[in-house]
Amino acid sequence: MSLVRSKICGITRVEDALVAAEAGADAIGLVFYAKSPRAVSVQQARTIIAALPPFVTTVGLFVNASRCELGEILDAVPLDLLQFHGDEQPADCEGYHRPYIKALRVKAGDDIAAQVARYPKAAGILLDTYVPGVPGGTGEAFDWSLVPHDLGRPVVLAGGLNAANVRAAIERVRPYAVDVSGGVEAGKGIKDADKVRAFLAEVRRTTI
Ligand SMILES: O=C(O)c1ccccc1NCC(=O)[C@H](O)[C@H](O)COP(=O)(O)O
């Protein structure tokens, strides 16, 4: 029996980060993609991270950022883990002296195992919903039956999760972790404390 870890993503406010941490989130996600309504500035990110209690992993999310841009952010923001949501090739994800997660957007007909095999140095693979032109944060779930049973890597399941469907998602996919953004919000980038707590409580009640 094992517990599934959880990340609350798209955090833009200190108060939301503290609610997530106090409710048991293992990680928070900070979006450094200007086109996202959940994007944070370097200063916002520094303030949020400085307010966190210990033992909460900080994850920076990027979409095809240049090495220069990413390096500047890492010089200023204490991120534990990187998460790449664009067309990044393996070489684009390495060399930052940080573990990274590669996000793959799933659609019928994809060879997920082959895509995973292209990132042997990734600490984990995040499986998210494919919506044309939307790199992440779609708020839509994908067909979990598309996920192969054993990808041989820590899988983070994302895409349209919420307190009502996360148990079924975990039981179907048996992921290492789950990730949520829209399903715990009152508005884009504004988390709803009760939804955050309900989501994390449901994850804790679900063992695999
Ligand atoms: O959340 C965003 O706005 C976002 C924008 C661009 C790239 C990635 C983004 N989010 C990444 C995440 O890990 C989200 O939590 C994940 O896509 C799930 O989002 P949701 O379907 O809203 O739960």
ipTM of the complex in this document: 0.98
| pLDDT (0 to 100) of residue 188 | 95
* Predicted local distance difference test score (pLDDT) of residue 104: 98
Q: Where are the domains of the chain?
A: 5-205
128 labelled catalytic: yes
Which one from 9, 16, 92, 179 is the annotated catalytic residue?
9
Q: How far is the CA of 194 from the centre of ligand 1 (A)?
A: 20
* Annotation says 9 is catalytic: yes
Sign of CA dihedral 157, 21, 122, 85: positive
Residue 187 CA to ligand 1 center (angstroms) comes to: 14
Average pLDDT of adjacent 10-residue blocks, the chain of 208 residues = 92 98 98 98 98 98 98 98 98 97 96 97 98 96 96 97 98 98 97 98 92
pLDDT score, position 207: 79
Q: Ligand 1 pocket test: which of 128, 195, 200 has the largest number of ligand atoms within 8 Å of its C-beta?
A: 128
pLDDT of residue 100: 98
Please give the single-letter amino acid code of residue 147: V
5-205 to CATH, choices 1.20.58.60, 3.40.50.1000, 3.20.20.70, 1.10.1510.10: 3.20.20.70
Exposed/middle/buried for 134, CB within 10 Å: 0-12, 13-18, 19+? Answer: middle
Predicted confidence at residue 208, as pLDDT, reads: 82
Beta strands in the chain (DSSP E): 5-8, 27-31, 57-62, 81-84, 100-106, 124-129, 155-157, 177-180, 185-187, 190-191
Which residues does residue 178 pair with via DSSP β-bridges, in sequence order?
A: 6, 157
Instruction: Please give the distance, rounded to the nearest whole angstrom, from the Cα atom of residue 193 to the centre of ligand 1.
Output: 18
